[in-house]
Amino acid sequence: MEARFKTFNSFILLLILLGLSFIFFLVDGYFSLRGPRAVFEKLVNPLKANFQLVLIKILPPKDTSLNDPVILQTKIDHLSLENSRLLARINQLEIENEGLKKQLKIISQSEVKYLSARNIATVEGLMTLDKGESEGVKTGMVVVSEGVLVGKVVSVTPHASRVKLPIAEGNKIKVKVLPIAEKGTLKGTPEGRLLLEEVLQKVNLETDQVLVTTGEESEYPPDLPVARIEKIVSDDVAIYKKAEVKPLLDYQSLKIVMIRI
């Protein structure tokens, strides 16, 4: 092997560097190098965030969702509905809470809290946020923006977290089509697009219908809007129907998102 290298020193250097890489890999795997990562992220995250802002300014994303009255109305309707549902729930919980406080004499706190985080990079189905383990972020947490699903935290480092977006390749989310409430599966493609699959042939799909999470897999809470149908791919022979779907958010242009902690 070493005879094929130009010099024997190169071969030795390769072995040393391979060994060092392997040691780093093992040490990080077993002891998690939090210190160096924390320092690095403190230094680099603001740089990434500013770079992202510059990028958005240079190449402004086309937010077609805000120009589309149908989507806008759907968003408003959904948020109004969610708002009234949450107000009713708050009212109910406050009454319940008061009762419990009286009985237990303790002050409890609401279970679901949101933590705002900056989007510092979005690269092909993966969004990097500037909040991590030190701020209480854990893997599996759900990220939303404007009441719309952004994704799920898949990895966390001291001051950063990575969120798997619905468009990530191979990502599957159980959804229902509004207003007919028929179920299907939303799938991310290698091209970074979304497909609605596993919808029964008898279901009458239409363009601009909104897809929300079912909450079945317990990975995502129910009724979070994700996307809308853009084009129905008709194949009468197939068991299931398919549709090309467009996310309700332009993930690249998101500056601030909310993490459900």
Residue 5 as a binder of other proteins (CB under 8 A): the answer is yes
**Minimum distance of other proteins from residue 10's CB (angstroms):** 4
Q: Which two tokens stand for residue 181?
A: 């409430």
Closest to 223 in 3D by CA, of 73, 125, 85: 85
What residue spans of 105-122 are helical by DSSP H?
none
Binding-site string for other proteins from residue 161 to residue 200, where x marks contact by CB under 8 A and - marks none: xx------xx-------------------x----------
Bridge partners of residue 240, in order along the sequence: 200
Instruction: State which of positions 105-164 bind other proteins (CB under 8 A).
Output: 120-121, 123-124, 128, 155-157, 160-162
- Distance separating alpha carbons of residues 196 and 184, to the nearest angstrom: 7
Closest to 169 in 3D by CA, of 137, 123, 212, 132: 123
* Sign of the dihedral through C-alpha 141, 143, 147, 150: negative
Closest to 260 in 3D by CA, of 136, 76, 165, 156: 136
Candidate ranges 17-25, 105-113, 180-188, 217-225; the one touching other proteins (CB under 8 A): 17-25
Instruction: State which of positions 46-65 bind other proteins (CB under 8 A).
Output: 48, 51-52, 55
Q: Which two tokens stand for residue 15?
A: 């072995």
Closer of 129 and 199 to other proteins (Cβ): 129
Tell which one of 8, 23, 139, 217 touches other proteins (CB under 8 A). Answer: 23
**Residues of the shown chain interacting with other proteins in the complex, contacts defined by CB under 8 A:** 1, 4-7, 9-10, 13-14, 17-18, 20-29, 33, 36-37, 40-41, 44, 48, 51-52, 55, 120-121, 123-124, 128, 155-157, 160-162, 169-170, 190
